[in-house]
Every structure is written in structure tokens, then in C-alpha cells.
Amino acid sequence: MSAMQAKHKTMLGLAATAWGLAMSLVASAALADTDANAQIRPSRISLGQSAELRVPAKSGRAPALPQVDGLHFQQMGQRSEMRDINGVVSKQDWILYRVVADRPGKFDIPIGPRPLAFEVTPAGASTASAASQAARPSPASASPAQRGSSEGPLAFLRVRLPNKKMFIGQAVPVTFKAYFRAGTEVTLAGAPSLGASAFTVGNLDDSPHQSVETIDGVPYRVATWTGQISAAMSGKFTTHATLPIIARYRVAPRQPAADPFTSMFDDDEDVFSSSPSAMLRSFMKHSSFGGDLDDMFGQVREREMTLRARAQGIQVQPLPRTGQPSNFGGAVGRFDVRTRLAPSTGIAFSPMTLTIEVSGQGNLDRVAVAGLPASADWKTYPPSAKQSAPGNKSFEQAVVPQRGGHLELPAISLSYFDPEQKRYITRSSTPIDVEVAAAPTGSPVPTFAATSPRPVSKPAAGLRPNRVDEGRFVATLLPPYRRAWFWPVVTAPWLVLAAGVTRSRVRHHSARSHRRATKETIDRYRQAMKGAVAAEDTQRFYEAAAAGLCIRLGQIWHMHPDDVTAAEAAARLGPGDASIVAVLSAAEQLRYGAAVAEPASLAGLKASIDQRLEQLEVRS
Amino acid sequence: MTDHHVTRKGFSWTTILARAAIIVAVLAGPARAAATTASFDDANRAYAEGHYGTAITDFESLVRARGWSAPLLYDLGNAYAQAGRIGPAVLSYERARVLAPRNADVAANLAYVRAHAGLPSHPAAWYQIASGYLSVTGWTWLAVIALWLAAASLLAARRWHWRRLVHVGVVALLLGVAGVSAIAVSEQGLNRAVVVANKSAAVRVSPFDGALSESSLSEGEVVAVLGRHGDFVHVRDSRGRAGWVQSSTVQAIVPRTS
């Protein structure tokens, strides 16, 4: 049993050893097979795209590639891989190529023991994805196979303008097409520009449409932008369209001039861009892309450049003055205007939204509408432009019905200039009939003032509506009596009145005192007259009588008693007062020493003067 | 004589300048009003379109530019209420009530906002209702005019012995007394403030940051201002509780420097 077991063990050991040897041989064969085969990924691309070809390097050098009609190979670099198979570590070097195609079709690449199958589908099938990758670098430098047979520029820019004559404000379509020969590695550094300050470029695509075109048998990748240009002024102008790009190229380490563009253009970008065709031909001949394979492992450099299109002349005409409608706002093109109201039924004093939609062809940026004017039925606010779809521009206007009932929203008019018909056209929307319910009874119209307008907005969430009348503004909420000016203003009239009363009282008191003193003085002179009559002293009588009369008359005439003379009295008094004038005249004569005639009766004269003094006292 | 001429000439120039100022004011007034009317419309349009933040900004700028008006404060209160800012909404309504105490919309929206925010409401006493018949400014001028009329009537009656003027004077005197009484009642309401702090404001026992907080005031609550100390205001709420709150958490209904 043990001998049998030992024999079986020996056989199993031999079988295991044989299996192991067999597997080792299979693995070695498989490894050798893998090392020898080239690979292409992906095996199917769209025209304009590229694939990666991996070819095993031999003695560290790239193998010679076969020429395949319709395919171009562009060396990308080298890659090394370390493998560990059954404990055996090996190194594999790969040469990497980028493969681009001139045309769609099925290709067999005769490399290695078996040809590699490769298929290129038409570009239309991959347009969308290509366009989305427009900003990515294009395929790099041309392959050695292409270099010898390539003709024409590497890149150039074209601008297509269907109209060379246009009106101010007219929107004219424009197409920028940038051509990059297959194999050039270029990154777009910006959007194309028309290069004329009189024009504005609008609606330009953010991402260009990418396609492939063949010109004179040379395939080009084409980036296309479409947009509109509009002129802001009239006259003749010349466009100088440009497109900034970034070109990538490799610099061979063994070349004395590391930067091929340095020797070509002396760092003068304008020289590069002034003649793109000639320049790019020179670029093709002098750049490192035309060198040997050893040069391909050099340094990658980038350079900013500008493509310039051929100059074109455009004539811009001003808009005609004749026939221009009063509501023309600068719109040029062909438009239609429609309105809609939301909600379709309203409530008095509740805001509604009037949407004015302008659609058509033309420069919508210049389209502006005045909106619905305010009326007795509608309170309106200025319209505001809203985001719109291409070829459409809408405005929203808040309108507030001012009463309930059946209201009509008038038509909205839009005037524009039609550049094709060369005349102004006015379009109007259809009037809108709207049923407006009365304002809720629970929300009466606020009454800040008797003449105040009605509210603008509907009570939202239980709030009563806003007011549209500003009301009377005040500088402060403080009551008047807390302000500095209040008390002086209020008390000043009182103080003035009190001062006036006091002054009047003082004056009244003074006048009364004066009158009393005057009367006392006159009474004293009358007593003196009485004494003179008793003593029959004529001179003393005249002096006393004249003094009393002068005081009284001076009081009446607002004169000093000394200024009252016989002549003054004669001039002021009438003939009935001749006795008074005579007394004054006699007193003056006596004062100067002259003799006077004796009166018939001093007592009679005294009685007459007393009576006259009493009369004059009443007048005073 | 020369002095007399100088005086007449100076008076003449003063008159000319005064008249020129009046003309300029008259001419500039409508332009200024027209310029700000657009802003008021813009604010109302923003409110109507639901842009309450924009409406608040526009209304506030109008207040800064032109001052206060009852409709403006009412609209501002509506905008704050729609924006969910109860404190400033109540403050604006209360300020609108100072200028238009009998306005039904201000009262309705103030009551709505207060009820919506759960703020306590207390029925007003009869004299408070009566004093709200006119604004404080209205009562003030009524009292001034009535007292002037009373004084003038009584003086004239004494001077010219016209007995009917005595009756006029007595009636005017009663009106004046009523006006002064209403001012006294309204004066209590002028020393009030509204809590504008977000959500609530802490009420402290003393005017210091580290003081014990004994209670809190809700946003939008109206308090009576009892005094000030530093950055704190001594207030008493509607339940009679007094304490100190940060001055930034309350705003006077009638600003001292408005």
C-alpha cells in the first residue's frame, strides 16, 4: 500500500511539474505575443476625432510606420510599463501615436503580425460631441507622412457677411469660420471679433460648431460661430475680423533655436497674423514638426497668436426721417406684437401683469415699448424687459384696474423700420377685454386725504393694500410743542400784545397827567386874572390871560406855549376869536414896553376868556 | 436822514431776498416732488411685484430724502410685514398712526400684524380713544388757536363791552383746555418704543451686559420708555414689567432727532 501510494505521489509530482512547465511556456508565449502586438484605441472614431496607436518600441526606437491612405499618424510620446508575470519582471516601451483620418471608411493598419482594424465614421454622427469639445486642443502636429505632401495654410479665418449694405440698427447675420488643418494643435483663446468699432456683435455662439471640411484635398477642422452684427452709426466701414488662438508645438532639445517661432517671426505676433497663409506655410516648414522622430520627445511650448480675416467694406445707411412714427423707438427688422394679461379676470385695485411679447427678425436689443399709458380705468407702471427666447423679447408691465366692471385693455403699438421694404411699419396688438370684480367690501379704500388716489395693491395675506398717494411729508414726527420754534412763535404775539397794551397804558397815563398839570397851571393863571381884575391891574391881567391862552392853544396845536403868538393865533383862529387875538397882541405889546388901550371892562373880558378857555379845554 | 435811507434800503434787500427764496422754493418744489414721485411709484411697483426687499429699500430711501408721511409709513409697514419683519412693521404702523391716528387701514394692518405675531393687545381707554381723534400736531394747533381766540375774545369783550364775545371766548377756552388735555394724553404715547430685535430682546434688571436677564420682550412689542443709561433703555411693557434692554433692540416711535 505504501509502495502504491509512493508511486501515485511520484506520478502526481511529475504531472504537476509538467503542468507547471506547460503553463510557463504558455505564459511566455502569451507575453511574447502581447509584446509584439500594436494596439489602437478606440478602434472606431468619427471623422475629426482621433485615436491612440500604441506600438512596441524596439531597442528604444520607434518602428517605421506603414503608410495608410486616408490616415495620418502623429507621434505623441513614449511610455514604459513594468510587468511581473510569474515572478518574471519585464519592461515594455511603447511609442504612442495619435491617428486622424482624412475621410470616413474602414482601414487596416499593417503593423505587427496581424493588421489592426480601424473604422472612421462620417463627421455628422459626432458633430454634437465635437462641438462640445471645441475648446480642447486639436490634433497635434502633422505626421511625417503628411508633411511631405501637405499644401496650403495651417489655419485661417473667414467672415461671411451676406449684406454689405445695411441700415443703422439693422441686425445682419454674420458667420465666423476658423479653419485648422488636421494635425495642428490649436486652442481657441477667445471669441472672434469683427474689428470695427461701429458695429456690435450679438447673439454669438458661446461654443462654436465644429465640423470637417476639405479644401483642395486638404482636410480642415472648422470652428463656426454665427451671430448678428448691428451698426451704431452710418458711414463706410472696413472690418478687420480677428480670432485669438494658442498654438502648441514641440521644441527639439538638440535644435539650437529652441523656439521655432523666434527665428520665424522675431516674436512679432502681427507678422504672424498679417498673412496667415504664407505664415502657416512657413510654420509648416520651419517648425519642429518637420524634424526627425528623435525631435518629438522635446519640450512642448505654447504661443498666443491672432488669426485675421480678409478686410471687408460695409456701408451703413441712416434711417430715413420721412414717415418716422412718433412712437418709433429704434427697432429695425420685422416684428409682431402680442399682449396677454394675467390673471385673465381681475379685482379692482389688484395689480395684474400685462405681458407684451415682441417677436420677429431683427435687432431685438433696440426694441422698446412704452407700454400701456395710464388712464382713468388703469393705473400703470413702466414696463420692464424680461428674459426672452431667441427671436422673442417680452416686457412685463404692472397694471391696476381702478374700478370694477367690464374694462378694455387698449392695444399696444410698436413701430419699426423694415429694412427690406425700406419704410416704417406700425403693428398693434389686439385689445383685451377683462372682467374686473369690485374691491372686497371688507377692505374699504383708505382715506388719508379726501382727494387721495386709490390703493395700488391687493391685500395679501390679510393686509390691506398699499397707498399710492404720497401724502403730506413732515420733517419730524415730534409734535410742534417739542420743537424749538414753537414756543417763541406761540408766545411772541402775546408778548407783542402785552407790550402794546403796556405802552398804551403808559402813554395814556402820561397824557392824563399832562392834561391835569396843564389844567392846574391854567387855573392858576385864571386866579391871577381874577386878582388882576380885582386890583384893576391891566398889565397883570393881560400877562396872566396870555399865559393861560398860550398854554391851552399850545396844547391843542402841539406847540410850545412860547411859540404861540398873536399872529399864529390870528392865522389859526377864526373871526369869532378876535378877543383872544387881541389879548395876545396886547400882552406882546406890554412885553415890549408899549402902551395898550385900557379895556372897557376887565371883568367882562375875563368872563369872555374864561368861557373860551373852558371851551378849548373840551377840545384838548 | 442817511440812517433812515440805510434802514429802508436794508429792508428792501431783505424783502427781495425773501421773495426770491419763495420763488425758488415754489419753482423747485414741483421738480423735487416729481423726482421723488417716481421713487415712490417704483417702491410700490416693487411691492406689487412681490419684491419686498426692494420696496423696503426704496421706501426707506424716501424717508431719508423727504421725511415722513402717513401713506409712506403705512406702505413701509406693509412691505416689512410681507417680508416677515414684525418689529419694523409694527414700528412703521405706529409711526403712521402718529400722523394719521384715525386711519382705518393703519389700524387694521397693525392689528393684523400684531395678531399674526401673537402680540398682546389691550383695549384703549375712552380718553385714549378720544385723544386719537386728532394727531398730536392737530391737537396742538387746535389748542393754540382756541386759546388765542379765547384770549382775543375776552379782551375784546372787556374793551368794547360786547357780551357775545364772552360766549365765544368761553367756548374757545373750553376747546383749548380739551386740546391741552388731549396733548397730555398723547404725550404719554409719544414716549414709547417698539422692539425691533429679531425674535426677542432680553430684559435685564440693570443696565449692564452682565446683568441678570429676568424676562424677554417679543419682536414688535410696544414698550414705554422710562429712561436711558448708556447703551440701555429702561422700559416697561404692557404688563407693567420694567427692565433694561439694549438700545439697539428698540426704536422710539417718535425719534428725538427725526
Per-domain residue ranges of chain A: 1-32, 37-126, 133-315, 325-437, 510-619
- Report the b/e string of A184-211 with b at 16+ CB within 10 A: bbbbbeebbbbbbebbebebbeeebbbb
Which has the minimum average pLDDT: A158-162, A309-313, A355-359, A448-452?
A448-452
- How confident is the prediction for chain B on average, in pLDDT? 81
pTM for this one? 0.40
Decide if pLDDT at A12 tops 70: no
- Report the b/e string of B46-80 with b at 16+ CB within 10 A: bbbbebbebbbebbbebbeebebbbbbbbbbbbbb
Quote the pLDDT of residue A251. Answer: 55
Check if B150 contacts A (Cβ < 8 Å): no
Which CATH number covers residue B200?
2.30.30.40
Return the bridge partners of A222, or none: A179, A211
* Helices H / strands E in chain B, number of each: 8, 7
Higher pLDDT, residue A460 or B149: B149
Check if B20 contacts A (Cβ < 8 Å): no
Decide if pLDDT at B58 tops 60: yes
Of A381, A400, A478, the CB nearest to B258: A478
Scanning A326-385 for CB atoms below 8 A from B yields 351, 381-382
Task: Single out the residue of A244, A283, A277, A280 nearest to residue A262, CA to CA.
Answer: A283
Contact B141 A480 (CB under 8 A): yes
- Show the domain range for B146: 128-190
Residues B111 and B6 in one domain: yes
Of B67, B108, B136, the CB nearest to A475: B67
Q: How many domains does chain B have?
A: 3
For the CA atoms of B137, B140, B145, B148, what is the dihedral angle to 10 degrees? Answer: -150
Check if B151 contacts A (Cβ < 8 Å): yes
Residues B152 and B233 in one domain: no
Contact A187, A248 (CB under 8 A): yes
Of A467, A472, A480, the CB nearest to B74: A467
The DSSP code for B24 is: H
- DSSP codes joined into one string, A140-195: -SPPHHHHHH--S-SEEEEEE-S-SEEEBT-EEEEEEEEEEETT--EEE-S--B--
State the residue for C-alpha cell 426694441: A367
Check if B255 contacts A (Cβ < 8 Å): yes
Residues B90 and B23 in one domain: yes
pLDDT more than 90, % of chain A? 4
Of the spans A247-251, A293-297, A429-433, which averages the highest pLDDT? Answer: A429-433
Average pLDDT of the residues in B133-161: 85
Strands of the sheet containing A116-121, edge to edge, are A44-46, A116-121, A105-109
- Using the 3D structure, point to which of B142, B165, B190 is the last residue of a domain: B190
Nearest CA in chain B to A475: B67
The DSSP code for A126 is: G
Helix/strand/coil (H/E/C) assignment for every residue in A301-365 = EEEEEEEECCCEEEEEECCCCCCCCCCCCCCEEEEEEEEEEECCCEECCCCEEEEEEEEEEECHH
Rounded CA-CA distance B73/B94 in Å is 9
Instruction: Report the CATH number of the A37-126 domain.
Output: 2.60.40
Would you place residue A136 in the very low, low, confident or very high pLDDT band (cuts 50, 70, 90)?
Answer: very low
Residues B138 and B220 in one domain: no
Average pLDDT of the residues in B215-240: 88
Higher pLDDT, residue B55 or A619: B55
Grid cell locating A214: 476639405
Q: Is the preceding peptide bond at A144 cis, omega within 30 degrees of 0? A: no
Q: How many CB atoms lie within 10 A of CB A218?
A: 18
Domain A325-437 has CATH 2.60.40: yes
Contact A351 B48 (CB under 8 A): yes
Please write the tens of the pLDDT for every residue from B137-147: 888 888 889 98
Higher pLDDT, residue A441 or A270: A441
Average pLDDT of the residues in B50-77: 91
Residues B148 and B237 in one domain: no
Task: Single out the residue of A457, A9, A393 nearest to residue B71, CA to CA.
Answer: A457
Contact A481 B151 (CB under 8 A): no
Residues B15 and B86 in one domain: yes
Residues B181 and B197 in one domain: no
Quote the pLDDT of residue B212. Answer: 80
Would you place residue B19 in the very low, low, confident or very high pLDDT band (cuts 50, 70, 90)?
Answer: low
Residues B178 and B247 in one domain: no
Please write the tens of the pLDDT for every residue from B163-172: 888 888 899 9
Q: How many CB atoms lie within 10 A of CB B36?
A: 16
Name which of A355, A399, A473 to mutate to probe chain B: the one with the most chain B Cβ atoms within 10 A of its Cβ: A473
Return the bridge partners of B192, or none: B224
Q: Does residue B108 fall inside a structural domain?
A: yes
Residues B81 and B148 in one domain: no
Name the minimum distance, in Å, from the CA of B193 to any CA of chain A.
Answer: 13
Quote the pLDDT of residue B80. Answer: 92
Contact A357, A340 (CB under 8 A): yes
Average pLDDT of the residues in B8-37: 51
Rounded CA-CA distance A206/A132 in Å is 10
* Burial class of residue A533 in the structure, from the number of CB atoms within 10 Å of its CB (0-12 exposed, 13-18 middle, 19+ buried): buried
Residues B174 and B199 in one domain: no
Of A457, A478, A490, the CB nearest to B254: A478
Residues B149 and B228 in one domain: no
- DSSP codes joined into one string, B75-117: HHHHHHHHTT-HHHHHHHHHHHHHH-TT-HHHHHHHHHHHHHH
Residues B196 and B186 in one domain: no
The amino acid at B239: R
Name which of A466, A490, A495, A501 to mutate to probe chain B: the one with the most chain B Cβ atoms within 10 A of its Cβ: A466
Sort out which chain A residues have CB atoms less than 8 A from B255's CB and list them.
476-478
Scanning A392-431 for CB atoms below 8 A from B yields 398, 400
Contact B75 A464 (CB under 8 A): no
Please write the tens of the pLDDT for every residue from A586-597: 888 888 877 777
Quote the pLDDT of residue B6. Answer: 35
Would you place residue A276 in the very low, low, confident or very high pLDDT band (cuts 50, 70, 90)?
Answer: very low
Higher pLDDT, residue B208 or A252: B208
Contact A45, A120 (CB under 8 A): yes
Decide if pLDDT at A497 tops 70: yes
Average pLDDT of the residues in A258-286: 39
Q: How many CB pairs under 8 A join A and B?
A: 118
Sort out which chain B residues have CB atoms less than 8 A from A481's CB and list them.
140, 183
Check if A442 contacts B (Cβ < 8 Å): no
